[in-house]
């Protein structure tokens, strides 16, 4: 990144001024991540129906946030970097959720008006 | 090739006067939905034309009026938030009208009237196979009666096709692995193109044909000609016996497999706890890949896999038969809204050698 | 640094395509997906998760060592990270091997005898399993290559408190690969109950 | 000409100095040559299949025709349109416009060209081996199971070229953030830079999804296992979701840089600051974001869930707003301006007109009911060619004419260039306007034969295509001529504002002798110096 040397915005990104994280913090985060790993394995054994996946994803999201915030140093980073992180997540959500919306609502139309050759029922929608 | 392009004297590309003589500019509107869609289309054309003319005129006028002249300098203008908002919001309002209008027509197109005559269409590279309820079959030709709503239930044997009748303004993709449908009400006697509009391989352009809209008398006349093999459900019944389905799917008592009488369009409780509607798509899947969804109380691997054994047309015949086992009465229509759960005792004699052979 | 973050966004979307497919098919075949859990070794998967988390810790400690111009620590932590990374890949290879033995590799005589009704959807899941973990493993291998480069440079005393950007950047990459696994673990290993 | 000045073109010599260069300007030239070649490969195919459509029963075999249109699409979309302006003009101009010596990652920039070339070699290899017949959309299961053509080779080409696009986008994003000269604030950035920044975002966010989709498709084709095959419970519609998640935003990868070019040209030849600078800049960003939430409108007739379709329809109308804002602002920029009719401005007029038509016909496709009536017909073909060719190619040529003196230091013959512009405009409309009518009549796209009643319109279209083909050849010839024989251009032949016009034509290797300090906005056209008679060109 030596090319960065000319950059005016460089001082703001300030990699050389990044505060040195405390070892205690890092180890604490590590411990938390390990605990969460056990937690998620344990919770998956409990029958929660639809909520199993929700809990699993929430725990994963928490772990990922910890890694990003502390290990990847987002807590020291610029607004721009944070914006990029959020953008990655939002775009992932756009991809997954909009695609998912198609599949999860496919049945809606047809159950409302079941196909039938039957002439006596229902109102024709013209 | 034959139906589409030939049968007519070969036009030479250079024979321009002759070509221009029958230059079509707008398609015939031969269905009930063609009119409303054309109205929206013309609305869009008019809006587009107005906008195009406005912008062309403004560009031409400004370019001429403010052309570079000695001693005249441009006036620097920052912009105008008011103006920006105006030309963002006003067009957007017009677009909202288009959106609402288009969505409304689309909604209607998704919901066939219940008195629509059902015709089955199977697409394969590169032809459309048509089956009628009375058992008549045709290839690349669809006969429909004037003013009678028709619902097409469509399957594909290979790749994605798209069934399109421009004169009716209808079109729907035919995706393998499921059923797709569309419906229309023909309103003009005549002969109109059927096209495949999803690229499906080499002879994609040949995958077309004609829809013949016949008046009442002509339709009755045509209908009386066909059906030598019995109605669609009778053909299905034959297949049902031939393939040994009837050994396990007993009509009135619990066999090794679920009872099919009264099943159609009812919710079915599956082994994994979920519920599905016994519609065409479910029946098709269960016939071809019985293990895909196991009914609660039954075992997997009892029914053989019919994928590769039965064509999509056979499957349609079987479904027609299964449908005929659920005669429509006012009670069942009410009932179709209720969760009638099909429950059966666990099948006995799982290892019995009664499996039908194909 | 910004370049690396931008690259990581690209990576998110790259994996995103597979996550999208996963979401769709899990919704379509919930029972079949749950049924695969008996073939997923949670202990191995969980161990691997822990191993990867440990490697993230050593990685961030390596960055810290570089920041503080502690060459010996830097070398130590880089080596530790590589050991953890290799251990992860070793376990992964073992898992792949057992999938192979159990005929669970799509395209190579896939069998699913305990629940034949789920043959096809289970095959879909295992296809996704191999694609997702395979892509992840490829990223791990690339990461190990990058770490080797860092190690060589660290031995040659190239990094100090004034210049440690490469360590930081490759650290970001390594953590990202960890984050992907953090999501893969519950999605692939913890789908259904195993009793 | 004894003492020729040193500039980036003659600073070093030999093929190595080009193939190993990290100078963004030389890489832009490498790209320019490569994409021009690809454009003519794709264009030749277009001419050939238009000839086939002269007769209703076709002239070539169906096989040949299918391969021609498929390779036309693949080459034009992935190897011409996507890299066209970003990799050439933007690559050349972004560092100069923001006052930098190069892009943030010069070596990655070179790498992206090599990756592009490898992708292009794959595509060319597929063509030479016999082509691919899936259409550029590679829809499963046709592409994964049924096609007997070189799908894998072509898909590999697309996959590889995608990474070149990602690297270009990444480079632009970082460059714009990190390399701006002192005083070059975001609100002083030229609109061209804004547009390419937005493009970079789309490239970075969208392209990886295409990559993974193509990869999954390749697995399915190689190993016959996969996730799109309906025979094993897969869903072919999922392929379309993932494909269009990239490929709809990709349309904006293609058009946004063109919009940036037009903003520059209109401002320069009206001698005016663009009307509503902020709105043009932010509409680029708005397009970049909204472009990702509209892809479902490609799937209204595929069996996509109804409510999802309705949502996508609404969102598709939303994305029309920022595009409309741009058109209105360009028009308003001419108001009380001092408009001259140099060739780039003629292209800008062409762009505004054709893009307006292309954009408005997009409304027909965003509205659900009329989309059903026109989906898969020539209406679609006409619509996206109005945007892609009428828009993007016009903008590309306009930009090339605008910056050619800067890039090569030579002027091109003005009369010829105006003539060519008219030919292209006429040829274009004659080619594609009849296709709107054909489309509503119902003629499906990708048909090698068609019912005879459609012949007249097809003949018109083919006639237009041949005019268009000649129109594209003329600039090719005079540009090539001008490199050697064209009169020398001054540093600022158009009396334009902007940093790129303050340095020599062609620029030196490092663009600026010292990093400039920017004190004014990009479009400070308020001054007598913009009205001095054009300097006499020296022969």
Cα dihedral value D79, D81, D83, D87, nearest 10: 130
Q: Is residue A26 part of a domain?
A: yes
Identify the CATH number of the domain defined by range B26-66+112-230: 2.60.40.420
Question: For chain D, what is the radius of gyration of the CA atoms?
Answer: 23
ipTM of the modeled complex? 0.89
Give the SS3 label for residue B191: strand
> For B114, which of A109, A111, A124 is closest by C-beta distance?
A124
Total structural domains in chain D? 1
Helix axes D191-223, C2-28, angle to 10 degrees: 40
Q: Is residue D9 part of a domain?
A: no
Average pLDDT over residues C43-62: 94
Cα dihedral value B49, B53, B59, B62, nearest 10: -150
For C63-121, what is each residue's pLDDT tens digit?
999 999 999 999 999 999 999 999 999 999 999 999 998 888 887 888 888 777 788 88
B340: pLDDT strictly greater than 80: no
What is the share, in percent, of chain B residues with pLDDT greater than 90? 40
Of the two residues B85 and D535, the one the predictor is more confident about is B85
**Residue recorded with tokens 């769709």:** C24
Q: CB–CB of A95 and C13 under 8 A? A: yes
Give the SS3 label for residue B129: strand
Closest CA to D30 of D87, D79, D97: D87
Low-confidence ranges of chain D (pLDDT < 70): 1-4, 533-539
Minimum CA–CA partner of B289 in chain C = C117
Rounded to the nearest angstrom, the gap between the alpha carbon of residue B58 and the centroid of all alpha carbons in its chain is: 45
Q: Is residue A115 part of a domain?
A: no
Q: Is residue A113 part of a domain?
A: no
Average pLDDT over residues B310-329: 81
B305: pLDDT strictly greater than 90: no
| Domain definitions of chain C by residue range | 2-189
> Rounded to whole angstroms, how far apart are CA atoms D491 and D506?
8
Minimum CA–CA partner of A3 in chain D = D104
Residue pairs between chains A and B whose CB atoms are closer than 8 Å: 62
For A11-29, what is each residue's pLDDT tens digit?
333 445 578 888 999 999 9
Which residues on chain A are in Cβ contact (under 8 Å) with C42?
Answer: 41, 44
Q: Is residue A9 part of a domain?
A: no
Question: For chain B, what is the radius of gyration of the CA atoms?
Answer: 28
pLDDT value of position B236: 84
Q: What count of Cα atoms within 13 Å lies in the side-chain half-sphere of residue B346?
A: 5
pLDDT value of position D270: 93
Of the two residues D432 and B297, the one the predictor is more confident about is D432
pLDDT value of position D115: 97
Q: Is residue D16 part of a domain?
A: no
> For B272, which of C31, C116, C120 is closest by C-beta distance?
C31
Helix axes D394-408, D343-366, angle to 10 degrees: 150
pLDDT value of position B335: 36
- Eight-state DSSP code of residue C39: G
Mean pLDDT score of chain B, rounded to an integer? 81
Interface test with D, best of B2, B98, B210 (most D CBs within 10 A): B98
Q: CB–CB of C117 and B292 under 8 A? A: yes
> Rounded to whole angstroms, how far apart are CA atoms D96 and D100?
6
pLDDT value of position C93: 95
> For D178, which of A9, A87, A95 is closest by C-beta distance?
A9
Q: Is residue A34 part of a domain?
A: yes
> Which residues of chain C form beta strands (DSSP E)?
none
| C13 in contact with D, Cβ within 8 Å | yes
> Which residues of D380-498 form beta strands (DSSP E)?
none
With the C-alpha atoms ordered A57, A62, A66, A69, is the resulting torsion angle positive or negative? positive
> Rounded to whole angstroms, how far apart are CA atoms C59 and C57?
5
- Neighbour-count burial of D141, counting CB atoms closer than 10 A to its CB (0-12 exposed, 13-18 middle, 19+ buried): buried
> Rounded to whole angstroms, how far apart are CA atoms C63 and A79?
22
Interface test with B, best of C117, C122, C192 (most B CBs within 10 A): C117
- Interface chains of chain A (3 or more CB pairs under 8 Å): B, C, D
Q: Is residue A79 part of a domain?
A: yes
For C120-156, what is each residue's pLDDT tens digit?
888 889 999 999 999 999 999 999 999 999 999 999 9
Q: Strand B117-124 and strand B150-156: pairing?
A: parallel
> Rounded to whole angstroms, how far apart are CA atoms C123 and C144?
31
pLDDT value of position A77: 87
> For A116, which of B32, B114, B133 is closest by C-beta distance?
B114
Residue B276 tokens, joined: 């599905």
Of the two residues B333 and C188, the one the predictor is more confident about is C188
Cis before B126? omega within 30: yes
Q: Is residue A39 part of a domain?
A: yes
> Rounded to whole angstroms, how far apart are CA atoms D209 and D395?
28
> Which residues of D188-303 form beta strands (DSSP E)?
none
Domain membership of residue A86 as a residue range: 18-101
Q: CB–CB of C16 and D208 under 8 A? A: yes
- Eight-state DSSP code of residue B140: S
Is domain B232-335 in CATH 1.20.1280.260, yes or no? no
Which CATH number covers residue D521? 1.20.210.10
Q: Strand B127-132 and strand B117-124: pairing?
A: antiparallel
**Residue recorded with tokens 């082509």:** D131
Average pLDDT over residues A62-91: 91
- Interface chains of chain D (3 or more CB pairs under 8 Å): A, B, C
Q: Considering the entire predicted model, what is its pTM?
A: 0.89
Which residues on chain B are in Cβ contact (under 8 Å) with D55?
Answer: 10-13
Q: Which CATH number fits domain C2-189: 1.20.120.80, 3.30.2320.80, 1.10.260.40, 2.60.40.10?
A: 1.20.120.80
**Cα distance from C93 to chain A (closest Cα, Å)?**
21
Residue B45 tokens, joined: 């054309």
pLDDT value of position B228: 65
D189 beta partners: none
For C153-166, what is each residue's pLDDT tens digit?
999 999 988 899 99
Which residues on chain A are in Cβ contact (under 8 Å) with C8?
Answer: 88
For B19-51, what is each residue's pLDDT tens digit?
555 678 889 999 999 999 999 999 999 999 999
Lowest mean pLDDT among A107-121, B138-152, B228-242: A107-121
| B153 in contact with A, Cβ within 8 Å | yes
For D197-244, what is each residue's pLDDT tens digit?
999 999 999 999 999 999 999 999 988 877 898 887 789 999 999 999
| C3 in contact with D, Cβ within 8 Å | yes
Closest CA to D392 of D354, D340, D445: D354
Count of other CB atoms within 10 angstroms of residue B344:
16
Answer for the pair D257, A122: CB distance below 8 angstroms, yes or no.
Answer: no
Alpha helical stretches, state H, A1-126 = 10-13, 23-44, 51-66, 79-104, 106-112
pLDDT class for B273, splitting at 50, 70, 90? confident
Q: Residue C126: phi, psi to the nearest 5? A: -70, -30
Cα dihedral value D230, D231, D232, D235, nearest 10: 0
Answer for the pair D506, D409: CB distance below 8 angstroms, yes or no.
Answer: yes
CA distances from D9 to D23, D286, D506 (A): 10, 38, 8
Q: Is residue D12 part of a domain?
A: no
Q: Is residue A13 part of a domain?
A: no
Minimum CA–CA partner of B265 in chain A = A114
- Give contacts of D 99-158 with A, CB under 8 A: 100-102, 104-106
Residue D129 tokens, joined: 């081996």
- Neighbour-count burial of D231, counting CB atoms closer than 10 A to its CB (0-12 exposed, 13-18 middle, 19+ buried): middle
Cis before A117? omega within 30: no
> Rounded to whole angstroms, how far apart are CA atoms D425 and D417?
12
Rounded to the nearest angstrom, the gap between the alpha carbon of residue C50 and the centroid of all alpha carbons in its chain is: 11
C169: pLDDT strictly greater than 90: yes
Answer for the pair B122, B89: CB distance below 8 angstroms, yes or no.
Answer: no
A9: pLDDT strictly greater than 70: no
Q: CB–CB of C116 and B300 under 8 A? A: yes
Which residues on chain B are in Cβ contact (under 8 Å) with A118?
Answer: 114, 328, 333
Q: CB–CB of C124 and D205 under 8 A? A: no
> Rounded to whole angstroms, how far apart are CA atoms C128 and D126?
28
Which residues on chain C are in Cβ contact (under 8 Å) with D224?
Answer: 107
Closest CA to C98 of C38, C185, C53: C38
Q: Is residue D207 part of a domain?
A: yes
Total structural domains in chain A? 1
CA angle A57, A59, A64 (to 5 degrees): 90
pLDDT value of position A15: 47
| Domain definitions of chain B by residue range | 26-66+112-230, 232-335
**Cα distance from D513 to chain A (closest Cα, Å)?**
14
Q: Is residue D382 part of a domain?
A: yes
């Amino acid at each position: 990144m030596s090319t960065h040397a000319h950059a005016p915005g460089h001082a703001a990104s300030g990699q050389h001024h990044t505060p040195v994280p405390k070892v205690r913090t890092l180890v604490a985060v590590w411990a938390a991540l390990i605990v969460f790993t056990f937690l998620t394995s344990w919770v998956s054994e409990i029958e929660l129906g639809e909520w199993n996946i929700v809990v699993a994803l929430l725990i994963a999201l928490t772990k990922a946030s910890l890694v990003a915030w502390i290990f990847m140093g987002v807590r020291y980073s610029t607004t721009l970097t944070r914006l990029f992180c959020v953008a990655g997540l939002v775009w992932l959500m756009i991809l997954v959720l909009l695609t998912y919306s198609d599949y999860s609502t496919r049945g809606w139309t047809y159950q409302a008006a079941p196909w039938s050759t039957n002439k006596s029922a229902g109102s024709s929608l013209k | 090739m034959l139906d589409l392009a030939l049968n007519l004297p070969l036009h030479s590309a250079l024979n321009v006067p002759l070509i221009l003589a029958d230059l079509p500019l707008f398609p015939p509107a031969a269905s009930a939905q063609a009119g409303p869609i054309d109205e929206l289309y013309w609305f869009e054309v008019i809006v587009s034309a107005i906008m195009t003319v406005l912008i062309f005129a403004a560009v031409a006028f400004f370019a001429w009026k403010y052309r570079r002249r000695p001693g005249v300098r441009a006036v620097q203008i920052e912009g105008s938030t008011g103006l920006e908002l105006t030309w963002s919001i006003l067009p957007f309002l017009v677009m909202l009208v288009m959106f609402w209008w288009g969505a409304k027509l689309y909604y209607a197109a998704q919901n066939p009237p219940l008195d629509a005559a059902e015709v089955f269409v199977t697409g394969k590279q590169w032809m459309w196979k048509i089956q009628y309820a009375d058992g008549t079959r045709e290839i690349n030709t669809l006969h429909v009666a004037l003013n009678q709503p028709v619902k097409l239930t469509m399957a594909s044997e290979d790749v994605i096709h798209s069934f399109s009748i421009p004169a009716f303004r209808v079109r729907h993709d035919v995706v393998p692995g499921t059923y797709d449908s569309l419906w229309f009400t023909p309103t003009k006697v005549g002969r109109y193109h059927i096209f495949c509009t999803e690229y499906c391989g080499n002879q994609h352009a040949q995958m077309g044909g004609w829809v013949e809209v016949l008046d009442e008398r002509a339709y009755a006349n045509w209908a009386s000609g066909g059906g030598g093999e019995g109605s669609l459900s009778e053909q299905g019944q034959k297949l049902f016996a031939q393939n040994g389905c009837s050994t396990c799917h007993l009509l009135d008592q619990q066999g090794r497999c679920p009872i099919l009488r009264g099943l159609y369009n009812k919710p079915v409780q599956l082994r994994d706890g979920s519920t599905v509607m016994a519609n065409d798509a479910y029946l098709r899947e269960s016939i071809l890949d019985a293990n895909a969804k196991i009914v609660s109380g039954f075992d997997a691997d009892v029914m053989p896999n019919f994928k590769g054994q039965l064509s999509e047309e056979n499957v349609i015949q079987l479904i027609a038969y299964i449908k005929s086992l659920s005669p429509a009465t006012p009670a069942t229509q009410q009932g179709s809204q209720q969760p009638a759960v099909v429950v059966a005792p666990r099948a006995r004699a799982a290892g019995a050698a009664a499996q039908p052979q194909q | 640094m910004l370049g690396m973050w931008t690259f990581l966004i690209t990576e998110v979307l790259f994996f995103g395509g597979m996550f999208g497919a996963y979401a769709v098919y899990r919704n379509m075949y919930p029972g079949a997906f749950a049924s695969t859990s008996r073939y997923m070794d949670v202990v191995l998967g969980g161990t691997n998760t822990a191993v990867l988390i440990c490697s993230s810790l050593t990685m961030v400690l390596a960055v810290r060592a570089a920041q503080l111009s502690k060459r010996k620590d830097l070398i130590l932590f880089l080596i530790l990270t590589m050991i953890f990374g290799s251990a992860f890949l070793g376990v992964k290879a073992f898992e792949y091997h057992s999938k192979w033995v159990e005929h669970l590799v799509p395209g190579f005589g896939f069998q699913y005898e305990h629940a034949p009704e789920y043959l096809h959807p289970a095959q879909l899941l295992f296809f996704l399993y191999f694609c997702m973990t395979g892509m992840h493993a490829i990223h791990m291998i690339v990461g190990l290559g990058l770490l080797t480069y860092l190690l060589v440079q660290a031995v040659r005393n190239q990094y100090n408190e004034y210049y440690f950007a490469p360590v930081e950047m490759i650290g970001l990459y390594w953590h990202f690969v960890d984050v992907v696994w953090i999501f893969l673990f519950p999605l692939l290993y913890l789908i259904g109950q195993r009793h | 000409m004894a003492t020729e000045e040193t500039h980036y073109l003659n600073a070093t010599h030999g093929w190595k100095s080009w193939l190993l260069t990290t100078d963004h300007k030389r890489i832009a030239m490498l790209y320019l040559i490569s994409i021009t070649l690809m454009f003519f490969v794709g264009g030749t195919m277009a001419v050939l299949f238009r000839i086939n459509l002269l007769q209703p029963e076709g002239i070539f075999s169906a096989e040949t025709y299918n391969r021609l249109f498929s390779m036309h699409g693949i080459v034009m979309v992935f190897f011409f349109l996507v890299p066209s302006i970003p990799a050439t003009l933007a690559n050349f101009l972004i560092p100069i416009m923001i006052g930098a010596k190069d892009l943030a990652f010069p070596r990655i920039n070179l790498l992206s060209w090599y990756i592009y070339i490898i992708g292009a070699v794959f595509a060319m290899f597929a063509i030479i081996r016999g082509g691919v017949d899936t259409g550029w959309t590679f829809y499963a299961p046709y592409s994964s199971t049924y096609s007997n053509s070189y799908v894998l080779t072509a898909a590999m080409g697309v996959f590889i070229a995608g990474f070149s696009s990602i690297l270009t986008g990444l480079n632009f994003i970082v460059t714009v953030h990190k390399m701006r000269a002192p005083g070059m604030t975001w609100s002083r950035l030229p609109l061209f830079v804004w547009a390419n920044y937005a493009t970079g975002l789309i490239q970075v966010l969208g392209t990886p999804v295409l990559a993974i989709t193509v990869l999954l498709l390749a697995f399915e084709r190689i190993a016959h296992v996969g996730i799109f095959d309906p025979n094993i419970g897969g869903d072919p519609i999922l392929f379309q979701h993932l494909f269009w998640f990239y490929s709809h935003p990709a349309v904006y990868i293609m058009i946004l840089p063109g919009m940036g070019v037009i903003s520059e040209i209109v401002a320069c030849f009206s001698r005016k600051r663009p009307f509503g600078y902020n709105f043009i800049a932010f509409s680029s960003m708005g397009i970049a974001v909204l472009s990702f939430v509209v892809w479902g409108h490609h799937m209204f007739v595929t069996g996509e869930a109804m409510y999802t379709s309705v949502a996508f329809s609404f969102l598709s109308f939303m994305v029309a707003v920022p595009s409309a804002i741009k058109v209105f602002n360009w028009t308003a920029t001419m108001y009380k301006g001092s408009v001259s009719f140099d060739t780039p401005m003629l292209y800008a007029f062409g762009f505004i007109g054709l893009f307006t038509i292309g954009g408005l016909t997009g409304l027909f496709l965003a509205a659900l009911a009329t989309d059903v009536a026109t989906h898969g017909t020539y209406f679609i073909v006409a619509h996206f060619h109005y945007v892609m060719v009428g828009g993007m190619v016009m903008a590309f040529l306009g930009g090339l004419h605008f910056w050619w003196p800067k890039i090569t230091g030579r002027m091109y013959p003005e009369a010829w260039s105006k003539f060519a512009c008219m030919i292209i405009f006429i040829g274009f409309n004659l080619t594609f306007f009849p296709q709107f009518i054909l489309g509503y009549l119902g003629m499906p796209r990708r048909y090698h034969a068609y019912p005879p009643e459609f012949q007249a319109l097809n003949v018109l279209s083919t006639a237009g295509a041949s005019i268009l083909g000649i129109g594209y050849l003329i600039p090719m010839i005079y540009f090539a001529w001008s490199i050697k024989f064209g009169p020398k251009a001054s540093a600022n032949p158009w009396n334009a504002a902007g940093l790129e016009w303050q340095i020599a034509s062609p620029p030196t290797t490092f663009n600026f002798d010292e990093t400039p300090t920017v004190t004014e906005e990009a479009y400070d056209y308020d001054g007598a110096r913009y009205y001095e008679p054009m300097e006499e060109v020296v022969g």
